[in-house]
Amino acid sequence: MAEKPLIFITNDDGYQARGIRLLEKILRPLGNVVVVAPNIEMSGKSHAITGGKPLKLSCITKEEGFEEYSLEGTPVDCVKMAFDKVLNRKPDFLFAGINHGSNLSINTIYSGTMGAVTEGCSEGIPSVGFSLCDNDKEASLADCEEFVREISKDVIENGLPKDVCLNVNFPLGKIKGIKVGHQAKGFWSEDFTTSEQEGEKTIFWLGGEYHCTDDSPRADWNIVNEGYAAIVPMQVDFTAWKILDNITSRFSKI
């Protein structure tokens, strides 16, 4: 019998979040599981890393086939810490989430959960992020459980193309099926809430609203709004290849 795969799990909602607990439950039968997740919520931390201050690691659980740690750091810190110091080797797979909140469209760029996924991908590990499109930390995860299990099994069995990771988003409630698509075009309009003064400083709270500008039926935002789970294959090469040659002739003249 083949050795069990080494599965690494993290998230950005913190190691005590309901989403990561369910992900652990789903993945433990599929391999040896090691969790390193932030000790507190780290939503919106994107691909941030911690320089200039120490990272504190605590062991929560250590038993046959399952280890869990919390780290006073970002999700990407968790990945790097795990790969260098917690695991005896790089994991075979990285799974992140289940995130409480959408990582559709441009939102993936702000997400700590997807930061961890792209970090894993950049280090050559087949990596998948799962998100439930509801910010309520108490929202029911029941409807996505079977889909998380089946997608995870497929990735563990068949791997992923080189340099590609998956961003999986679920609608709340009954899920009609899975559709593969692309990142929807869209943007955020800012709306900072009322300011106060603190001496010379003006105080604001960040707020805003997302606007989808993509009417493609394959845009992830639209897939989820139709009641399907959206899988977007992502890469960590940000080069705008399509316009590379145009830009080349233009700036070569300077």
Q: Should residue 110 be labelled a site residue for a copy of itself when binding is judged by CB under 8 A?
A: yes
Q: Should residue 35 be labelled a site residue for a copy of itself when binding is judged by CB under 8 A?
A: no
DSSP state, residue 182:
B
User: What number of other Cβ atoms are within 10 A of residue 147's Cβ?
Assistant: 17
Among the residue ranges 22-30, 91-99, 136-144, 191-199, the one whose residues contact a copy of itself (CB under 8 A): 191-199
End-to-end CA distance of the chain: 62
Taking the complex as a whole, the smallest distance from the CB of residue 28 to a copy of itself amounts, in Å, to 21
Taking the complex as a whole, the smallest distance from the CB of residue 66 to a copy of itself amounts, in Å, to 19
Choice between 7 and 231, CB closer to a copy of itself: 231
- Judged by CB under 8 A, the residue of 62, 137, 176, 250 near a copy of itself is 250
- The first and second tokens of residue 38, run together, are 């932030």
- Judged by CB under 8 A, the residue of 49, 139, 172, 212 near a copy of itself is 49
Choice between 54 and 64, CB closer to a copy of itself: 54
Contact predicate 234/167, CB 8 Å: yes
Q: Should residue 210 be labelled a site residue for a copy of itself when binding is judged by CB under 8 A?
A: no
Q: Should residue 172 be labelled a site residue for a copy of itself when binding is judged by CB under 8 A?
A: no
Q: Which of residues 62-101 bind a copy of itself (CB under 8 A)?
A: 72, 76-77, 80-81, 83-85
Contact predicate 219/191, CB 8 Å: no
Among the residue ranges 14-22, 23-31, 137-145, 200-208, the one whose residues contact a copy of itself (CB under 8 A): 200-208
Write the single-letter amino acid at 74: T
User: What number of other Cβ atoms are within 10 A of residue 48's Cβ?
Assistant: 15
The DSSP bridge pattern shows strands 93-100 and 6-10 to be parallel
Q: Should residue 206 be labelled a site residue for a copy of itself when binding is judged by CB under 8 A?
A: yes
Contact predicate 167/160, CB 8 Å: no
Choice between 12 and 24, CB closer to a copy of itself: 12
Beta bridge partners of 94: 8, 127
- The first and second tokens of residue 138, run together, are 């108490």
Choice between 1 and 242, CB closer to a copy of itself: 242
Rg (CA), the chain: 19
